Chains A and B, each alone.
Chain A
């Protein structure tokens, strides 16, 4: 079930990964895992802070894992009420 908000959050997360973490746009797909994007334990903390700043939801470290896909992350952000 994808809503307009899901798409908007996905777009925002993709933009974050590209602009802040230095990924190329082609690398960031819905099924790409964070570890494939070199998001390690340190970068997960950074990602958590960036998501909080930009989308207004807070994660604890154990809520995001390097094995998650970008789409997993988007779903959790939306489930927590994150919106663009």
Chain B
């Protein structure tokens, strides 16, 4: 077993359907107030609602000169990254950029740009296609532009593990600190791919809730009446450092990333393994990496997508690996499922839960599925001391990433 290693979380940044910035997002998440609503871009589609970041004006936040060259998933990432760097008390104009790495999860890139330019190609020919198409739509856009924005010239990579991508990024980032390759890593995830084509694809895969008559109630993780996930956009970025470096800088440490478990079901394109074997191994790997016993885990921020399959499989796996002790929540009741951003956003929520001893409620959980033996927070935030927590992320393709987050005392 490798030696224990805790990466200090010294900065966090969020752009979510609950708000722009950590404070605005966390406040609404703790209120358990759903964000799903009708999406004008999807009018006439079978599923016409999503969770969008409200009032996000990239021209205003980033300046039009920069914003016009980037896709929305990169806009969200830049705003979250800038907040995280500020929160960590770091100044990119003075740091040694070669020692700063960036790892960002993203899977779908910028389909809006692709769709528009595909129309240009068909209507006007190849010589009218924008030269910005490739840098705008590419999955690696977010990590590349975050580095440009803050002068991070160290290791730079994107992680692509579907809906686990954001969590995978944080696990990989921790290893970059452990190996000594970096002194600071900006890690997180971003996604904004809510175009009609992408939404039709999710809809045809029967992954989405079809509760069009009541979008706000559609994302209902672990509820007996759940019928699919609600697609969302968002970004979350963390600043990670070695504990000794954070202490030398004299900045507060919010919590420690102490474990990472990464596995693959190697089973099916979209369905989780029916016995949750991959998810179970990811949890056990994260516990072993963090040198934690199951009974030391006080809280689980579940993947909890509100699909029949995920929630059933995940509930059984949590009970099997951790017993009925940990207090569970899924923030997707409020935020929907932001795909590659979700793992990072939920890791930040877990950091805040551990730091402040508050577990936010699972919105819309009215009647817990009687099959599940879980202690899930509903209606109001629950205050409790948390020694250690897990955050689960399980992606299409059976790609699993679990992070252990431990209190720094």
Contact = CB atoms under 8 A, between A and B. Distances in A.
Interface of A: 20-23, 38, 42-43, 45-46, 49
A22 B135 contact: no
B65 to A, nearest CB: 4
B67 interface: yes
Contact of B135 (A23, A42, A45, A49): A42
Interface stretch (B12-20, B124-132, B288-296, B371-379): B124-132
A49 B132 contact: no
A23 B131 contact: no
A23 B65 contact: yes
Nearest to B133: A42
Contacts, number: 24
A46 B65 contact: no
Interface residues of B, number: 13
Contacts of A42: 69, 131-132, 135
A22 B132 CA distance: 15
A45 B131 contact: yes
B68 A20 contact: yes
Contacts of A23: 65
Nearest to A41: B131
Contacts of A22: 59, 63-68
Contacts of B65: 21-23, 38
Nearest to A23: B65
A46 B59 contact: no
A46 B63 contact: no
Interface in B127-169: 128, 130-132, 135
A45 B127 CA distance: 10
A20 B59 CA distance: 12
A64 to B, nearest CB: 13
Contacts of A46: 130-132
A23 B59 CA distance: 12
A73 B393 CA distance: 53
Nearest to A49: B128
7 contacts: A21-B65, A22-B65, A42-B131, A43-B131, A45-B131, A46-B130, A46-B132
A46 B68 CA distance: 12
A24 B315 CA distance: 55
Contacts of A49: 128
B110 to A, nearest CB: 15
Name the 9 nearest CB pairs between A and B, nearest first.
A22-B64, A22-B65, A45-B131, A42-B131, A22-B68, A42-B132, A38-B65, A46-B131, A49-B128
Contacts of B135: 42
A68 to B, nearest CB: 18
Interface in B45-89: 59, 63-69
A42 B136 CA distance: 12
A40 B66 CA distance: 12
Contacts of B131: 42-43, 45-46
Contacts of A43: 69, 131
Given A21-B68, A38-B65, A42-B131, 13 more contacts: A20-B68, A21-B64, A21-B65, A22-B59, A22-B63, A22-B64, A22-B66, A23-B65, A42-B69, A43-B69, A43-B131, A46-B130, A46-B131
